[in-house]
């Protein structure tokens, strides 16, 4: 089995439409490997969801928690059959958190992660999937998790130094 490496999508300056389109294309690229998922929906944001996303969220709610109050937040954790998988992938970019795994259980099996309504996304890609993913997002917009964390640490250090020097002057 090919090793998967985590990549963060660097999307500074992208509008919402491009971010959503890119997320869906990457999910399509990886969909055949996804077997389980967790989707946490916050219903107070649902008025902003497209109708198809709201319908998918409603179907998930009826399947997972048929007796719950429609205004309560919903967390779906499940092995995914095809219809549940389709609905989970559709709502993922609108979820507070969504994560998907490949066969073999949860540990070290991540394949896609969304946080804060598509604000941050991580996709675990194989070397053979990387060219297709780069074509979707642009090669400069894929950062390995290692590079992403290195840049954040460097940015934090520079920010702290700048603040320190500003206070002294």
Residue pair 43/147 in contact (Cβ under 8 Å)? The answer is no
When mean pLDDT is compared over 9-13, 118-122, 128-132, the highest value belongs to 128-132
Does the residue 25 lie in any domain? yes
Q: Which domain holds residue 73?
A: 5-143
Does the residue 152 lie in any domain? no
* H helix or E strand, kind and range, residue 148: helix 145-168
Domains contained in the chain, number: 1
Total residue length of the chain:
169
What percent of the chain has a predicted confidence (pLDDT) above 90?
40
Does the residue 122 lie in any domain? yes
pLDDT of amino acid 169:
44
Rg of the chain's alpha carbons, rounded to an integer? 18
**pLDDT category, 69, cuts 50, 70, 90?**
low
Q: What's the sign of the alpha-carbon dihedral 120, 123, 124, 129? A: negative
Does the residue 151 lie in any domain? no
pLDDT in tens, 29-42: 999 999 888 888 88
Does the residue 156 lie in any domain? no
For the ranges 15-19, 76-80, 134-138, 147-151, which has the lowest average pLDDT?
76-80
The DSSP code for 106 is: S
Does the residue 118 lie in any domain? yes
Does the residue 21 lie in any domain? yes
Q: What is the average pLDDT value for the chain, to the nearest integer? A: 83
pLDDT of amino acid 151:
78
Does the residue 138 lie in any domain? yes
């Amino acid at each position: 089995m090919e090793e998967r490496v985590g990549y963060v999508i660097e999307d500074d300056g992208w509008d919402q439409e491009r971010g959503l389109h890119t997320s869906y294309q990457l999910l399509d690229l990886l969909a055949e490997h996804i077997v389980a998922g967790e989707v946490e929906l916050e219903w107070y944001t649902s008025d902003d969801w497209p109708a198809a996303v709201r319908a998918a969220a409603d179907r998930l709610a009826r399947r997972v928690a048929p007796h719950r109050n429609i205004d309560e937040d919903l967390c779906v954790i499940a092995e995914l059959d095809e219809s549940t998988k389709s609905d989970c992938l559709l709502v993922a970019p609108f979820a507070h958190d969504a994560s998907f795994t490949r066969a073999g259980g949860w540990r070290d099996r991540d394949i896609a992660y969304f946080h804060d309504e598509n604000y941050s996304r991580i996709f675990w890609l194989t070397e053979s999937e990387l060219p297709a993913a780069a074509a979707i997002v642009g090669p400069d917009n894929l950062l390995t998790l290692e590079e992403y964390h290195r840049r954040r640490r460097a940015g934090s250090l520079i920010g702290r130094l700048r603040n320190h020097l500003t206070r002294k002057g």
